[in-house]
A and B are shown apart, each in its own frame.
Chain A
Amino acid sequence: MLELLFILLLGMFIGYFFKWTGKLTILFQKAQTMLLFVIIFLMGCKIGIDEKVSANLHTIGIKAFLMALGAIGGSIFFTYLLLRLFSFQEKGEEGKYDR
């Protein structure tokens, strides 16, 4: 995990100190989207290969699915409470993060 932070910071450093033309930026964003699909595909492969997961998919799958929904629902609700409690918006800003 630490390598990823280093790579992120390295990319940010390069991005900050070199001028990027519009064309290159578009190319990079296209590359990002393509890479994303490749990684998601590989993630799918990994789950498909893992027999422990695919064998148990039916028996405990529903329980696990409901737990995932619960965790996601709870986290969205608490995020909502936090954003309500403390306004992330400041005067003069159009509230980019708020809404």
Chain B
Amino acid sequence: MTVKILLSLFFGFAVGGLLKRELPVEWIENGVTWGLGLLIFLVGIDLGSNRKLLQELRRLGMKVLMLPLAIAMGSIAGAFVVGSLIGLAYNSACAVGAGFGWYTLSGVILAKFDAQLGAIAFLSNVFREVLAIVFIPVLAKRCGPLYTLAPAGATAMDTTLPIITRSTSSSMGLVSFISGAVLSTLVPFLVPLLYQL
């Protein structure tokens, strides 16, 4: 599964690089938007037909909200540690970590302050999404379903949501969505806030 996903990503990267002039970006944007919409719809049907889901949610309760908060703190702390090792200012490092994988938004926000940092934030969060695709199936197998939410970060509500549900169970769909939604909500607040520390 992971190999196939990576192959299609690299294949896409190659095609995109080769057909830079011929391929209108709007087509791809539209393709992603519609494809994602349809996929999320199918995931929803899967979730809705799962009668156990409501029981699961009641069982997890408020703990569901604590997970994305732990993931947020962990991402920022991890970025801080690595940032200080490679000589990045601590506020920049924390702001890059607070992108939580949402590379378009975190990149754009930071590019306004510093072009180079914007590029680092963009790339770093692209890598986070790609690495999440690699780590999710492994974490699901080795550590447990809830660990898959950590690398996914904000993308747990869209791009990596289907990977999480396919490598765990469809009942993880809503938990994943909630975690991704909470983290996505934090991105536009935390990234500029941490940079201006």
Q: Do they bind each other?
A: yes
A interface residues with partner B (beta carbon < 8 Å): 1, 3-5, 7-18, 20, 25, 28-29, 31-33, 35-49, 51-54, 56-57, 60-61, 63-83, 86, 88, 90, 93, 96-99
The chain B residues found within 8 Å of chain A, CB to CB, are 4-5, 8-20, 23, 25, 28-29, 31-32, 35-50, 56, 59-60, 63, 66-67, 70-83, 85-86, 88, 93, 96-97, 100, 116, 119-128, 131-133, 135, 139, 143-147, 149-151, 153, 157-159, 162-163, 166, 177, 181, 184
B125 and A79 contact, CB distance less than 8 A: no
Residues on B with C-beta less than 8 A from A16 are 48-49
Among B44, B82, B157, B166, the residue within 8 A (CB) of A14 is: B44
A1-B81 contact, Cβ under 8 Å, with A25-B49, A44-B12: no
How many A-B pairs have beta carbons closer than 8 Å: the answer is 298
Q: List 7 A-B contacts (CB under 8 A).
A: A4-B36, A44-B10, A49-B20, A70-B97, A75-B72, A77-B74, A80-B143
Main SS at interface, chain A: helix
